[in-house]
C-alpha cells in the first residue's frame, strides 16, 4: 500500500480520536512518559465541540462551551507531551507492525506504528432515513443547533427526538426561533428530568407527540415536514423553515468491526479496564458499549484506557513493576 511513514520507530501508544476520551487518554499516557500520539479525524467532529453548554462537568459550575472545554483538554494533554496529528483512520489497525509486537495505523497517506492502540472515535448523529433528509442537509436539515441555530432567527423549526440531546438543543434553539416543535414518536420524553422541566416551561416549545416524520419537503429549502401519528395513522403537515434531527447516535467504529468485538449496535465491547477483545487494543468513550455517554464518563474511560495501555506497554518492554 502506498503511503509514507512519518515515524520510524513505533509510538508506545497511538490514540485514534481527538475528543474528550482520546485527549484524556493522551494526557494520562503522555504524563506517564509514554510516547503518545493522538490522531483526530479530518472529516468527523467531536460532538463536544458543537455542544453549546456543558453544565454537568464537575468543577465548572458556571457551565462551559463544549469547544472551549475541548481546547482546554487538548492544551493540557499537549503540555504533558502528547503529540497530535489529523487524518481519518479508515482501514482499521489490523496489521502487525513489521516483526515487532504492535500495530500499523493508516491515516490518509500517513502510517504510524504503535505498541498499543486506543480507539476513541466517538459516535455520530443517526439519520432518520426519510425522503428529503439527505437532499436538504444545509438547506434546512441540520444535526447541529450550535452551528445552524442562528440562521433561524424569528423562524419556525422542528426538532426530532425525545432524548437529552433533542431537548437540550430544542431549548438552545428557543434563543433564535420563534417556535420550536419537538416531534417525538412517544407520548413522553426520554430526556432527563431537569431538561424536561425546562422544555415544558418554555412558551416557545410545542410538542407533536406519538409522531414520526414521513418526509421533509420544499423547493430549494425546507418548507414543511409530513408527520404521521403512529397511534391513529393520521397524516399531517407542519410548516417549518428548519428541522433538527437528534435521534441518537451511531458509533464511529466501521473500520474496526472486523478487528475487535462489537455489539449489535456496532459499539466496541470492552471490559472494565477498557480492554477490547484483542490484546493491545483498548477503547474508550462514546464508541464503546455502555450506558451513559457523557463528557465526564468519556474522560474516565480515557484515563482507564491509558493506564491499561501503560501496563500493557510496560509488560511488552519488560519494564513491568
- What residues line the site for ligand NAP (CB under 6 A)? 56, 128, 160-166, 168, 185-186, 190, 212, 246-249, 292-294
Nearer to ligand NAP by Cβ, of 165 and 304: the residue is 165
The radius of gyration of the chain's CA atoms, rounded to the nearest angstrom, is: 22
Beta carbons of 68 and 58 less than 8 angstroms apart: no
Q: Name 97's Cβ contacts closer than 8 Å, sequence gap at least 6.
A: 10, 103, 104, 113, 114
Output phi, psi for 262, to 5 deg: -130, 160
* DSSP element (H, E) containing 307: helix 295-316
Give which of 123, 114, 121, 118 is closest to 40, Cα–Cα: 121
In the complex, least distance from residue 30 CB atom to ligand NAP, rounded to whole angstroms? 27
Residue with cell 459499539: 267
In the complex, least distance from residue 262 CB atom to ligand NAP, rounded to whole angstroms? 17
Name the DSSP class of 50: G
Beta carbons of 66 and 144 less than 8 angstroms apart: no
**Residues designated catalytic:** 144, 147-148
Output phi, psi for 194, to 5 deg: -65, -35
For ligand NAP, which residue has the nearest CB?
Answer: 163
Nearer to ligand NAP by Cβ, of 82 and 262: the residue is 262
In the complex, least distance from residue 21 CB atom to ligand NAP, rounded to whole angstroms? 13
Nearer to ligand NAP by Cβ, of 45 and 278: the residue is 45
Nearer to ligand NAP by Cβ, of 248 and 300: the residue is 248
In the complex, least distance from residue 3 CB atom to ligand NAP, rounded to whole angstroms? 35
Amino acid at each position: 500500500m502506498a503511503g509514507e511513514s512519518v515515524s520510524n520507530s513505533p509510538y508506545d501508544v497511538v490514540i485514534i480520536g481527538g475528543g474528550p476520551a482520546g485527549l484524556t487518554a493522551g494526557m494520562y499516557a503522555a504524563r506517564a512518559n509514554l510516547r503518545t500520539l493522538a490522531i483526530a479525524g479530518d472529516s468527523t467532529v467531536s460532538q463536544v465541540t458543537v455542544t453549546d453548554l456543558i453544565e454537568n462537568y464537575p468543577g465548572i459550575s458556571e457551565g462551559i462551551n463544549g469547544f472551549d472545554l475541548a481546547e482546554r483538554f487538548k492544551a493540557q494533554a499537549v503540555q504533558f507531551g502528547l503529540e497530535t496529528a489529523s487524518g481519518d483512520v479508515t482501514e482499521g489497525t489490523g496489521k502487525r507492525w513489521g516483526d515487532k509486537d504492535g500495530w500499523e495505523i493508516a491515516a490518509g497517506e500517513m502510517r504510524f506504528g504503535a505498541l498499543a492502540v486506543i480507539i476513541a472515535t466517538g459516535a455520530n448523529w443517526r439519520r432518520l432515513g426519510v425522503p428529503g433528509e439527505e437532499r436538504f442537509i444545509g438547506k434546512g436539515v441540520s444535526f447541529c443547533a450550535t452551528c445552524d441555530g442562528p440562521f433561524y432567527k424569528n423562524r419556525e423549526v422542528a426538532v426530532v427526538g425525545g432524548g437529552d440531546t433533542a431537548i437540550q438543543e430544542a431549548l438552545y434553539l428557543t434563543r433564535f426561533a420563534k417556535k420550536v416543535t419537538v416531534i417525538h414518536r412517544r407520548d413522553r420524553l426520554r430526556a432527563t428530568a431537569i431538561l424536561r422541566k425546562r422544555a415544558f416551561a418554555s412558551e416557545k416549545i410545542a410538542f407533536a407527540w406519538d409522531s414520526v416524520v414521513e418526509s421533509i419537503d420544499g423547493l430549494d429549502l425546507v418548507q414543511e415536514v409530513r408527520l404521521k401519528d403512529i397511534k391513529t395513522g393520521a397524516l399531517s403537515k407542519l410548516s417549518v423553515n428548519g428541522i433538527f434531527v437528534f435521534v441518537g447516535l451511531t458509533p464511529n467504529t466501521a473500520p474496526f468491526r472486523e478487528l475487535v468485538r462489537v455489539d449489535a449496535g456496532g459499539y466496541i465491547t470492552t471490559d472494565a479496564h477498557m480492554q477490547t477483545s484483542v490484546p493491545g487494543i483498548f477503547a474508550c468513550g462514546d464508541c464503546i458499549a455502555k450506558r451513559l455517554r457523557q463528557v465526564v464518563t468519556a474522560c474516565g474511560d480515557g484515563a482507564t484506557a491509558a493506564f491499561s495501555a501503560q501496563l500493557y506497554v510496560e509488560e511488552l518492554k519488560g519494564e513491568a513493576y
